Chains A and B, each alone.
Chain A
Amino acid sequence: MFMNNSQFRRSPVMVIAKKEVRDSLRNRWVLFISLIFLVLSLSVTFAGSAIKGELSLPEISALMSSLSTISVFIIPLVAMLISHDAFVGEDEAGTLLLLLSYPLTRRQILLGKLLGHSVIMIFTTCFAFGFTCMLLLLLADTYDGFSTLVHFMQFIFSSIMLAVIFILLGYVVSLKATEKAKAVASILLLWFLFVLIYDLLLLTLLVADLSFINQGVFKVLIVLNPTDIYRAMNLIGIEGGSGSLSVFSDSGWGFSGLCGAMLTWISILVAACYVIFNKRPL
């Protein structure tokens, strides 16, 4: 009476990822994030100069600097907002226990969710910033097309890496939390620490000009915070990076070095999530 199921066996990772994407489409997360990113990138690109009392398009390097400065606040928050209840939410609903009773491994559940949430961030980032880039190339003839494309591709790539890191940080919170409300409080705290406090401390050290804080120390301090790696990736080699920004534009890591640092963060966080998931009491 029992059917042979092998013909219907799909990768559980893909099945879970598909469900996460569908869930986010239904509760309008995808639409909401796309609009936020689009409004942000269009306003920074086309209306950013208004603050100086004029309406002109900025230099591509200045544009990347402005875009990354704003995105570094928004992307981590959005990424953690979509991932913070991935586990604690399912636990509260009773579906996590049910999923674990299925012939699935915890690794598959974790990777399925990560793939689904990453797809959402990849889609929204590519859509919003890609659209801005396209518009810029169509409307403005002052930009070098190839250089603009490369800058935007680098920017989108680094944004996706940053988003994946913060999705994983959201998972860490979600796996540690006993209830959803506590997870929300924890992601806000994490966002505050990574995006605001850490940079404030870095800036203080920079300004204080302490003797033991040299370029080498800053090089290490930058890779200890993914938002600073992101800034450095987008400000690298930008001429005119002055003042506090010069610490990022001239971090000494190089683009591939910074990519390596991002990938290291991702690997460590995936491993951490896996360990915490395995230890999470049922």
Chain B
Amino acid sequence: MNNELVVIGRHIRHEFGDFVVLDDVSFSLYQGQTMALLGHNGAGKSTLIKILLGLILPSSGEIDILGKTQLAKDARADLRIGYLPENVSFYDKLTGEEILTYFAELKGIGPRKVNQLIEEFGLGYAKDRRLNTYSKGMAQRLGFAQAILSEPELLLLDEPTVGLDPAASQFLYAKIDELKRQGTAVIVCTHELSLIENNLDSALILAKGRSLAAGDMAALRQQSELKVKITSPMLEQAIQGSARLQQISQGNALYVDSMDKPELLEYLTSQCGVFDLSIFEPGLAEIYHHYNNQASGICSQLK
């Protein structure tokens, strides 16, 4: 597991008339991995999802999904791709079971799977209730169940946790985790960076159609050159002997390059006798804002 490529996009470009929506976007995703697709509104995320679904063809570039180059629309029947659109509102006069059965029948999936998913997503007690009596969390669980009806190898989730309470979000991410363990590759398009941060293997950050950064968290941190923050209540005293460290310190904190971190920790602990340390790696939000600020031509002050 984790070694088979599920999606590989090479130099994808898409234009609507004169307007370039995506420009030279490349990325890859392996089996059992989650990729966060990040970017402001209008960054090109939805277009990329539509390309992945085979709904639109890119103007240039190539995309391989599950070993098939480019999506011929009619060949999609063979591909197991699940999709949950952003803010989808299903047919509110139909019951939860009827809605799931409708989508299952369209995919040629039998009632046994429908019943299994209804139970798995804790909707058994409400399956005969109309959708207009469902809470946002229940409706989203139903939508998620719809997305995994065909036991997809690639799952595309567009803002799956927007408007959900923490427990409902946690439930969905636990499900994503379960699917990952079974080998499903997941692409999550989201603005909720703190939620996705602990659940991703890689991220693709888009701005105005261009790929600003792509890779796993370690690579993103390294590419961004954001500093690691090290704090300790003993720090001010400990670094008094080092003019260099005093230069990069701010109060009880030191800001260092990621590559210098091991050496510095070694120095602080063995030579300065510091034993109470906290290390803050740059988070996804910092990395995301850093790239967006850079893209807007504003120098990041985080460095």
Instruction: Tell whether, in the assembled complex, residue A102 and residue B109 are in contact, meaning their CB atoms are under 8 Å apart.
Output: no
User: Are the C-beta atoms of A23 and B94 separated by less than 8 Å?
Assistant: yes
Would you mind naming 21 contact pairs between A and B with Cβ atoms under 8 Å apart?
A1-B151, A1-B182, A2-B80, A2-B150, A3-B109, A6-B108, A8-B109, A9-B108, A12-B106, A19-B94, A22-B98, A26-B93, A93-B89, A95-B85, A95-B88, A99-B106, A101-B53, A101-B55, A102-B107, A103-B107, A282-B56
CB–CB A282/B50 < 8 A:
yes
- One digit per residue, 1 when the CB lies within 8 angstroms of any chain B CB and 0 when it does not, for chain A 1-24 equals 111011111101001100100110
User: Which residues of B28-85 have CB atoms within 8 Å of chain A's CB atoms?
Assistant: 50, 53-56, 74, 76-77, 80-81, 83, 85
- Number of contact residues on A: which range applies? 20 to 34
| 11 further A-B pairs in the complex, CB-CB below 8 A; given A3-B110, A100-B55 | A2-B80, A2-B151, A5-B110, A8-B110, A19-B102, A22-B98, A93-B90, A95-B88, A98-B146, A101-B53, A102-B107
Q: Could you tell me the distance between the alpha carbons of A94 and B49 in the complex, rounded to whole angstroms? A: 14
Q: 5 shortest A-B CB distances, which residue pairs?
A: A103-B77, A94-B88, A5-B108, A26-B93, A9-B108
Q: Specify the main secondary structure of chain B where it touches its partner.
A: loop
B107 pairs with A5, CB closer than 8 A: yes
Chain B 84-107 interface mask (CB, 8 Å, partner A; 1/0): 011111110110001000111111
Measured in the bound complex, the distance between the Cα atoms of B110 and A26 in whole Å is 24
Interface size class of B (residues with CB under 8 A): 35 or more
Residues of the B chain whose Cβ atoms lie less than 8 Å from the Cβ of A282: 50, 55-56
B85 contacts A94, C-beta separation under 8 Å: yes
Q: Which of B98, B105, B146 has the most CB of A within 10 A?
A: B105
**Bound-complex Cα distance A10 to B105 (A):** 7
**CB 8 Å contact bits of A90-123 with B (1 = contact, 0 = none):** 0001110111111111000000000000000000
Q: Is the CB of B109 within 8 A of A15?
A: no
Q: Is the CB of B90 within 8 A of A95?
A: yes
A162 to B76, CA, bound (A): 37
Alpha-carbon gap, A147 to B287, bound state (A): 82
A19 to B131, CA, bound (A): 14
Q: Quick check: B83 and A101 within 8 Å, CB to CB?
A: yes
The answer to whether the Cβ of A214 comes within 8 Å of any Cβ in the partner chain is: no
| A53 CB, min distance to chain B CBs, angstroms | 46
Residue B108 contacts which of A8, A23, A26, A95 (CB distance < 8 angstroms)?
Answer: A8
Contacts of A7 in B (CB 8 A): 110
Query: Does A27 lie at the interface of the complex (its beta carbon under 8 Å from any beta carbon of B)?
Result: yes
Residue of B at shortest CB range from A8?
B110
B11 part of interface (Cβ distance < 8 Å): no
